[in-house]
């Protein structure tokens, strides 16, 4: 999902920002590095290009709005779009409040750690909304807890946390997501050396070593990229740092103890990276419907091995019966998430069941929160089924695709597996009050490759061309479903 994507990284001349730039370039991203140190930026760009990516350096300061505006202008001028904004520039402090003699350091901390994101995002947001991009805010575990000798830093990270939480509400319907990252301590950065002391000067090199709860740059960058791929909302590194008696220094002990207490029992990062949690009623319904369709209806499944065992995937099928979702759910080994009209959630008992089954509510236009949830579940690794025709067929014949089907296909990076149900209409259609004992066959086609259409859709801004590409994707999908032939028996006769 990262190939050819445009990524802006602030604070990219050293530490975590530089590591992220290198690792994303290795995944063929187009990386824009932003920092004040021109020489260090040039070295980082060379590393990115050696890793196989395309990179560009822009020199500037996140505390200066005009520099941030220039950053976004240069990025869009060269690459035309922005897919990820990683706000990584940061400044720390190491002094008790009562010892501080230069109060301006509190302003500097707020300008770098909080306003640094505000400035860059203000100019980048229009471009991010066009691509349904991701904002990555590199915060800190100290954005959640209080730590002595870091009062200004803690305050700035709390401000950053509140800003991002608010934006999640404001951007909910735009397709733009926010990932807030909460590292513990990271090895190999200059955060401590550059930290402000009581008089505002940099702390400089220290003999103090990192404790056992620290994390390497490489590991932290790898975990952040994994979270970006899953479009997670929050990550913690490590997830639950455990307190140790031999932790070095009061700050290390407080962070280890408070973070373990604060996050005891939570798994936000794990939940963000794994498929939907489903209630017991889902598995009960899956078992009972599987038993019923195997015995009474004589359900037969062909080529279910064509569905990837892991990772996000779209299962696209024809739709002729109320039982179609149950056929699909029972036909693959992995968990499958369905879609349902939002109006169904208003029926008390039905709504409760749909919620416990993880069903995604969508309105008739296919837009809004349901569509965002659809993409979120795909990125998290779920198998999601969809019916390109929208509603059940009155005749059993395949209908024209609904508007938005092509958009969903091309905006997703997930493979699309066409599925065709044979005999479902005869077994139970709009005119039946109870299913008949008629053989139903569920046959899975070969996964479809939409890479070329997706690449064209990502490259163009021509609305008319996009409409044509969306229409072509939807038409290709319906054609793939329609041309699936029923299985044969040993004599070469159709089983349906």
CB atoms within 10 A of CB 206: 10
15-25 and 38-50 are packed helices; what angle lies between their axes, rounded to 10 degrees? 30
Count Cβ atoms below 10 Å from residue 213 Cβ, excluding itself: 20
Give the Cα separation of 172 and 301 in Å (integer): 39
Instruction: Give the span between the Cα atoms of 274 and 315, in whole angstroms.
Output: 19
Task: Decide: 439 and 300 in contact? Cβ < 8 Å.
Answer: yes
Tokens of 153: 């830093």
Rounded distance between C-alpha atoms, residue 268 and residue 258, angstroms: 17
Spot the catalytic one: 114, 153, 425, 470. 153
Picking from 359, 426, 434, 430, the residue whose alpha carbon sits closest to that of residue 391 is 430
Residue 153 bears catalytic tag? yes
Residues 6+ apart with CB under 8 A from 41: 12, 13, 33, 35, 57, 58, 59
Length of the chain: 496
Q: Which residues contact 68 (CB under 8 A, 6 or more apart)?
A: 60, 62, 119, 120, 122, 123
Strand-pairing partners, residue 237, are: 183
| Euclidean distance between CA atoms 352 and 182, whole angstroms | 35
Buried b (16+ CB within 10 A) or exposed e, 410-434: bbbbbbbbbbbbbbbbbbbbeeeee
CA-based R_g, the chain, Å: 26
Instruction: Tell me which residue has tokens 């996050």.
Output: 263
Catalytic residues: 153
């Amino acid at each position: 999902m990262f190939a050819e994507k445009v990524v802006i990284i602030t604070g990219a001349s050293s530490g975590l920002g530089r590591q992220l730039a290198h690792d994303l370039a290795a995944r063929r991203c187009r990386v824009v590095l932003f920092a004040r140190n021109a020489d260090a930026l040039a070295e980082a760009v060379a590393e990115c290009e050696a890793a196989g990516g395309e990179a560009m350096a822009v020199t500037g300061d996140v505390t200066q709005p005009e520099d941030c505006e220039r950053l976004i202008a240069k990025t869009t001028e060269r690459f035309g779009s922005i897919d990820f904004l990683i706000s990584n520039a940061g400044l720390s402090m190491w002094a008790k409040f009562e010892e501080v003699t230069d109060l301006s350091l509190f302003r500097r901390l707020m300008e770098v750690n909080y306003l640094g994101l505000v400035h860059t995002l203000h100019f980048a947001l229009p471009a991010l909304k066009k691509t349904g991009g991701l904002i990555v805010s590199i915060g800190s575990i100290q954005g959640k807890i209080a730590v002595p000798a870091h009062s200004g830093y803690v305050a700035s990270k709390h401000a950053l946390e509140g800003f991002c939480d608010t934006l999640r509400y404001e951007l909910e319907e735009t397709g733009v997501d926010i990932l807030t990252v909460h590292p513990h301590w990271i090895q190999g950065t200059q955060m401590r050396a550059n930290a402000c002391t009581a008089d505002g000067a940099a702390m400089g090199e220290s003999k103090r070593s990192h404790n056992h709860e620290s994390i390497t740059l490489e590991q932290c960058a790898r975990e952040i990229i994994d979270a970006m791929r899953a479009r997670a909302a929050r990550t913690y590194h490590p997830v639950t740092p455990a307190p140790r008696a031999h932790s070095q220094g009061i700050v290390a002990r407080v962070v280890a103890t408070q973070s373990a207490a604060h996050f005891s029992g939570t798994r936000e990062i794990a939940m963000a990276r794994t498929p939907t949690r489903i209630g017991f009623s889902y598995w009960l319904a899956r078992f009972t419907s599987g038993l019923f369709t195997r015995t009474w209806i004589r359900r037969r499944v062909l080529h279910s091995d064509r569905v990837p065992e892991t990772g996000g995937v779209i299962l696209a099928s024809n739709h002729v019966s109320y039982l179609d979702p149950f056929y699909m759910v029972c036909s693959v080994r992995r968990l499958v998430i369905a879609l349902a009209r939002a109006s169904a959630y208003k029926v008390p008992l039905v709504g409760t069941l749909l919620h416990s089954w993880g069903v995604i509510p969508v309105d008739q236009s296919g837009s809004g929160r349901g569509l965002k949830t659809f993409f979120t579940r795909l990125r998290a690794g779920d198998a999601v089924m969809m019916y390109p025709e929208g509603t059940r067929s009155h005749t059993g014949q395949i209908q024209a695709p609904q508007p938005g089907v092509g958009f969903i296909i091309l905006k997703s990076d997930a493979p699309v597996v066409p599925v065709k149900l044979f005999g479902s209409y005869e077994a139970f259609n709009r005119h039946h009050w109870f299913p008949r004992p008629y053989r139903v066959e569920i046959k899975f086609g070969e996964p479809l490759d939409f890479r070329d259409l997706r690449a064209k859709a990502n490259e163009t801004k021509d609305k008319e061309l996009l409409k044509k590409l969306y229409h072509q994707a939807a038409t290709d999908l319906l054609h793939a479903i329609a041309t699936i032939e029923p299985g044969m028996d040993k004599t070469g006769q159709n089983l349906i």
